[in-house]
Structure 1
């Protein structure tokens, strides 16, 4: 189940990265914004929905790690409650996608994406996104603090050293990802924090930086998987080694055949 949740997160982030890439020409050629306005809004809605889905799945993974550390469930087990929660998450995300595609509430205003506040209920969806973001991030932080306590204060004699190292690597990976996402959410909504009131969101340079951080977010998790997960790193290196050292079969043709 752990790897399923991690793969879901990877898929959501990959989808965001692909849509960023597909819509990137519209940042350069302004005429595309008018010609493909509906398509861009639909893609933006799907991309934003993948971003929203990122957060509850990360929180679910963090809570799931606690159950594994406490030996309540196995790392490969998929409890019924987890299936129900995942179903609720994706039902909500599907509703957001459908509502967004119908109302066209996401638009690209180069160089950044955002809610079109002229569209009905766009402000409501924006507010719900903020509440969902901070709720999920709070759950993730609390869960990771509990995991840290379990690692350093409670030694589980039934878990092997290899298993514990694996759990710690996942902890480090998603602690960094959670911190990065938290920073991204905070700078995306500077008006909510008086400390960040100096950030001018109308400045195009600041908008470009924020958008760049969002794009970078799509690649943080895969890179950290290579850094902290030895087995995945070895599989990638072995695959690259086989590809670069693949020898094509040589066909020897005798002179008698040629002549």
Structure 2
């Protein structure tokens, strides 16, 4: 399938997994809207990387949990590129801690971005993605591991998986696929922050390949769902090297 003339919006694309996804989709031929919340300089680096490789991209600041900002982002994408074919909801934060001691303000902030943000982005995607397109959410493999300290984060991502599974069925007749990619431990700032070497090494060895994933590993799965299959739909794809 050629993706020339097709457009993708990637939220949380200024760094980490989102950045790798934006760059990979641009490589695949999509014009890309690089969404960011506050990392303007990093988003511009993503744009420059895409353009240096011959791709097309624009940066768009938007708080994904703010429906007016998301509406403006979708309007800009349509105006600049003529329509929207793929939406990847990757924006999210991770706060860890045991249930008994978890800060509820941090809980609310994380669920605002991870759950409300994904819901709003998917809501606009359901309204605007053209037939033949794809909606892809990003979750986590952590909920299947039951790791202590991950309850609040895994709960937010469990909601993300439910949104995608149900939206796929709500879009019956539209020829739009909706799937969720659930990465395992991946070498990003989000994952590495606050962890010592022993913890990182232990988590890396949870899978039989005995390494951390890379953002490019996850981007490859998104690329497949975005443009190389029409028969995977309503699924959660665990991209974790066999951890589960």
**Which is richer in helix?**
1
Q: TM-score, normalised by structure 1?
A: 0.29
Q: TM-score, normalised by structure 2?
A: 0.30
- If you compute each CA radius of gyration, which structure gives the higher value, 1 or 2? 1
